């Protein structure tokens, strides 16, 4: 049983004034203040243009564990990668800023890590209560395709925005990524499922111990998810992963 650990919480942010005004950072700040194993909260802003950064800076004055990292706009995946690279804790966890999964559910992920898992992913109910039909169709299609293209079977929910990684393993994995290897400035939102898939694909290939635990989740409407463009982007990313794998581009050696 692991007892000596510290947690870096990564929270990606892109034009999230609406969620910030709901007090999500108060909830996160109060929670990590009460739990000493959370040693830092890295809020990685993905080039917001709506005033999100100013709000985050004000919160950082009240919550000393908060640190704002300002990225150019490259999409959610590279915000998380930046957070992993900057993390000082022995464990990194990331949560979507809308807190669709309440921050209190982190205890379930930490419990699985303490038992020996190197990667712990939150798993939402199959019903996805409150989610629109298009989101449910996308989820079902993704489950089928990731098994066929990437062989990611026996993992039910790869896309829940609530995960925990052993920091050393996570830093090794992100250096082995190929699709999400180099960031570039983009236009519009990018929340492609591809990053989670490539991360878990590499993790499986290098033998990481992965656990999946059920978590509470509620649908939160967001303008950052687009059914058509996100589906196309994810499908493209999966085929690129398969191509790079067949071409021997991935280095799965330790």
Residues 191-201 pLDDT 10s: 667 899 999 99
The greatest distance separating any two alpha carbons of the chain, rounded to the nearest whole angstrom, comes to 50
Whether the pLDDT of residue 128 is over 60: the answer is no
What is the DSSP annotation of 61-117? HH-TTEEEEEE-S--HHHHHHHHHHH--SSEEEEE-TT-SS-GGGHHHHHHHHHTT-
Q: What is the pLDDT of residue 29?
A: 98
Q: What is the pLDDT of residue 144?
A: 75
- Average pLDDT rounded to a whole number, residues 7-17: 97
- Average pLDDT rounded to a whole number, residues 119-148: 70
> Is residue 128 a contact partner of residue 139, using CB atoms and an 8 Å limit?
yes
Would you kindly state where each structural domain of the chain is located, as residue ranges? 7-246
Q: What is the pLDDT of residue 18?
A: 94
Q: What is the pLDDT of residue 97?
A: 95
Q: CA-to-CA distance for 215 and 220, rounded, in angstroms?
A: 15
Q: What is the pLDDT of residue 124?
A: 86
Lowest mean pLDDT among 122-136, 210-224, 226-240: 122-136
User: Which residue's entry shows tokens 């995960």?
Assistant: 163
Q: What is the DSSP letter of 163?
A: E
Q: What is the pLDDT of residue 157?
A: 87
Whether the pLDDT of residue 218 is over 90: the answer is no
Whether the pLDDT of residue 177 is over 70: the answer is yes
Q: What is the DSSP letter of 176?
A: T
Q: What is the pLDDT of residue 203?
A: 96
Q: What is the pLDDT of residue 3?
A: 84
Whether the pLDDT of residue 20 is over 80: the answer is yes
Q: CA-to-CA distance for 92 and 9, rounded, in angstroms?
A: 6
Edge-to-edge order in the sheet of strand 7-13: 66-71, 38-46, 7-13, 91-95, 162-166, 119-123, 210-214
Bridge-based pairing of strands 38-46 and 7-13 is parallel
Give residue-wise pLDDT tens across range 32-79.
999 999 999 999 999 999 999 999 999 999 999 999 999 999 999 999
CA-CA-CA-CA torsion sign (165, 229, 250, 158) = positive
CATH class in words for 7-246: alpha beta
């Amino acid at each position: 049983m692991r007892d000596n650990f510290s947690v870096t919480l990564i929270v990606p942010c892109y034009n999230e004034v609406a969620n910030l005004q709901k007090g999500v950072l108060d909830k996160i700040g109060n929670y990590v203040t009460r739990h000493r194993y959370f040693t830092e909260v890295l809020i990685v802003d993905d080039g917001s243009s709506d005033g999100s950064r100013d709000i985050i800076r004000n919160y950082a004055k009240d919550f000393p564990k908060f640190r704002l990292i300002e990225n150019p706009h490259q999409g959610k995946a590279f915000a998380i990668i930046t957070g992993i690279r900057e993390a000082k804790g022995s464990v990194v966890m990331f949560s979507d800023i809308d807190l669709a999964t309440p921050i209190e559910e982190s205890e379930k992920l930490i419990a699985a890590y303490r038992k020996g898992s190197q990667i712990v992913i939150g798993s939402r109910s199959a019903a996805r209560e409150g989610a629109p039909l298009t989101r449910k169709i996308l989820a079902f299609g993704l489950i089928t395709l990731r098994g066929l293209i990437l062989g990611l079977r026996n993992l039910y929910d790869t896309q829940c925005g609530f995960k925990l990684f052993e920091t050393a393993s996570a830093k090794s994995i992100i250096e082995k990524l190929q699709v999400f290897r180099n960031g570039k400035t983009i236009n519009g939102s990018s929340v492609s499922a591809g990053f989670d898939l490539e991360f878990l694909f590499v993790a499986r290939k290098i033998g990481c111990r992965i656990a999946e635990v059920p978590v509470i989740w509620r649908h939160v409407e967001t303008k950052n998810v687009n059914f058509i463009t996100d589906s196309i982007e994810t499908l493209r990313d999966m085929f690129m992963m398969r191509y790079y794998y067949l071409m021997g581009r991935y280095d799965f050696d330790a």
